[in-house]
Structure 1
Amino acid sequence: MQGGAVLACLEQARHVHAAEYQLRSVLPFEAVPAGLLPLRKAVRAQLMRWGMPAVSHEAELATTELATNVIQHVGEGAPAIIVMEVSGHRALRIEAHDKSRESPRVSGAECWAEHGRGLQLLAGVALDWGVLLTATGKAVWCEISLDHVQHCTRVRRAAAVAEEYRRAAAGDQVLVEHSAAAREAVTHVICDLLHWISAQGEDSDSVLDQALMLYEAEAGLAA
C-alpha cells in the first residue's frame, strides 16, 4: 500500500462504521488458593486489552468467588477454566467450568459460610447468574453490566483485531492483499484501534501522528 493510500485510509478511518466482533478469553487454572491472585491478574490484564478497565473490580471479584466455589465444592487442585465473553452491548459474561455436576445453591447466610459471602456477593455485583450442565460437568456463570462503561463497538472490534494480530505475529504470518476491499478493511482497523486507544485514556491524535511518522521513517528506509 503506497503512502497516499495510507493517508487516505487514515482520513477515512475517522468516519467509517462496521459490524461487531465477539470477544472471548479462556483462562485455565488449578483450583488452589494460591492460584486466585494470578487468575485475578489475568482477568484484569485481559479487560485492559479489551478497553474495559472500568469493570475490572467487579470482574475480578466475581472471578474470585467463582474460583473459590470450585476450590471449596469441587476440590482443591481440581482443573477448571474461566471463560470471559462479550458478544453485545449489555454485559460481560464470566463462566467457571469444572468437572462436577453438583450445582451450588443459595442457602441463606450459611452459603459458602467459610467466607461469608459466596453466591450472595456474586448476585450483588452481577446482573444475573446461573448454572449450566455441560458434557463434562457444569459451568457457573454471571453477567456484569457494561452500561456504565465508556465502551463502544469499535473498542471491542479493535481488541479482537489486536488479539488476531498478536497471534499472527507469534506465528510470523504476513497477509497481504491488493484490492479495494483490503483498503477498506485497513481503514476500519485503523479507526477501531483509535477508539481502543481513546478507551485506554490516551490521545488518539498523538498516537496517529506517531504511527504516521514511524510509517514514513520505515518507508523511507525501505525505499
Structure 2
Amino acid sequence: MSGCQVTESGLRCVLPFEAEPAEVRLLRRATVAQLARWGVSSAAEEAELLVTELVTNVIRHVGEGAPATLILEWRYERLRVEVHDKSRLLPAPVKARCDEECGRGLQLLAALAADWGTVLTAVGKSVWCEIAAQPAAVCRRAERARGALEWYREGHPAMAAEGRSKSVLLEESAVELIADLLHWTAAQGQDPDDVLDRAQVHYEAEVAAAA
C-alpha cells in the first residue's frame, strides 16, 4: 500500500487508498509507524488527528470508495500531510458559512497545523497541512545518510545519467556504497555477512527505541 523514498528535500511516503471508513484506522496506524521509522514520533498524535480529518473529508465530500492518496513528507523540520483526490471542489474557507461538520474540520486543521491550504491539480485537488516536529536520532541518521550519498554520488560522475530521478540515483548510490563497504570489510579480514547482521540489529534497535 505504501512507497517510501528519499527525495531532494526530505523523506516521503506515498499511501494510496480508497475512501472507506475502515481505511481511516489503517492510515492512522501506517502514519504512526512511518513517523517512528523517521524518528519523529513526537508528531504522531497531531498527525493522526490530521490524517483522520483529511481522509474523513474525502469520504464525506467526495464519496465512499473514491480513489485517493495520502502523502507524508518530512522536510526542514516540518511534517507535511497531504491528501489528493479527484474532486476539484475546494473546501470552504474557515470563515465562510458552511455546515457544522465542515466548519469544525477546517477549524481543526487551522488550530493544529502550522500552515495548511488547498491546491488544484491536473486530476483533482490536494489538501495539505504542515506541523512542526523535532527530529530524533533516527531522522538525523537518515539526513546524515542522504548527505553521505550525495557526496558519494558526486565522486562517481558515471552515476549521474540523464533521465533518472534523484531518488533513483540516491538509491543506486546506496547500493554501491554498501558494496564498497563490504569489500573494505572483507579486505580487513572480517566477515561481510557478520557486519550486515550487526548493522541490521543496530538499525532495528534504534527504530524500536524511537517508537
Label 1:123 to 1:155 Cα distance change in 2 as closer, same or farther (>3 A): farther
Aligned to 1:130: 117
> Which runs of 5 or more structure 1 residues have no equivalent in the other structure?
1-19, 169-173, 184-189, 203-223
Q: Could you tell me which of 131, 142, 148 is aligned with 1:156?
A: 142
Contact 1:55 1:149 in 2 (8 A): no
Deviations 1:99-121 (A, max 9, x none): 00110013559656247620101
Aligned to 1:28: 16
Within-5 A mapping of 1:105-120? 105-108=92-95, 111=98, 113-114=100-101, 117-120=104-107
Label 1:159 to 1:125 Cα distance change in 2 as closer, same or farther (>3 A): farther
Report the Cα offset of residue 198 of structure 1: 5.6
SS at match of 2:100: coil
Label 1:87 to 1:157 Cα distance change in 2 as closer, same or farther (>3 A): same
CA distance in 2, matches of 1:95, 1:140: 6
**RMSD (CA atoms):** 4.0
Within-5 A mapping of 1:37-186? 37-89=25-77, 91-108=78-95, 111=98, 113-114=100-101, 117-146=104-133, 148-150=134-136, 154-157=140-143, 175=176, 177-178=179-180
Report the Cα offset of residue 55 of structure 1: 0.4
- Aligned partner letter, 1:130: G
Label 1:197 to 1:145 Cα distance change in 2 as closer, same or farther (>3 A): farther
CA distance in 2, matches of 1:132, 1:194: 41
SS at match of 1:117: helix
Q: Whose relative contact order is higher, 1 or 2, with alpha carbons under 8 Å and at least 6 apart?
A: 1
Label 1:116 to 1:134 Cα distance change in 2 as closer, same or farther (>3 A): closer
- Aligned partner letter, 1:78: A
CA distance in 1, matches of 2:202, 2:144: 8
Q: TM-score, normalised by structure 2?
A: 0.63
SS at match of 2:69: strand
Equivalent residues, number: 167
Label 1:194 to 1:158 Cα distance change in 2 as closer, same or farther (>3 A): farther
Deviations 1:120-175 (A, max 9, x none): 011111001000111110000000112x45468623337979xx9xx99xxxxx75
Report the Cα offset of residue 200 of structure 1: 5.5
Contact 2:16 2:68 in 1 (8 A): yes
- Aligned partner letter, 1:65: E
Report sequence identity in percent. 47
Contact 2:138 2:206 in 1 (8 A): no
> Which runs of 5 or more structure 2 residues have no equivalent in the other structure?
1-7, 150-167, 186-197
Label 1:109 to 1:33 Cα distance change in 2 as closer, same or farther (>3 A): farther
Q: TM-score, normalised by structure 1?
A: 0.60
SS at match of 2:116: strand
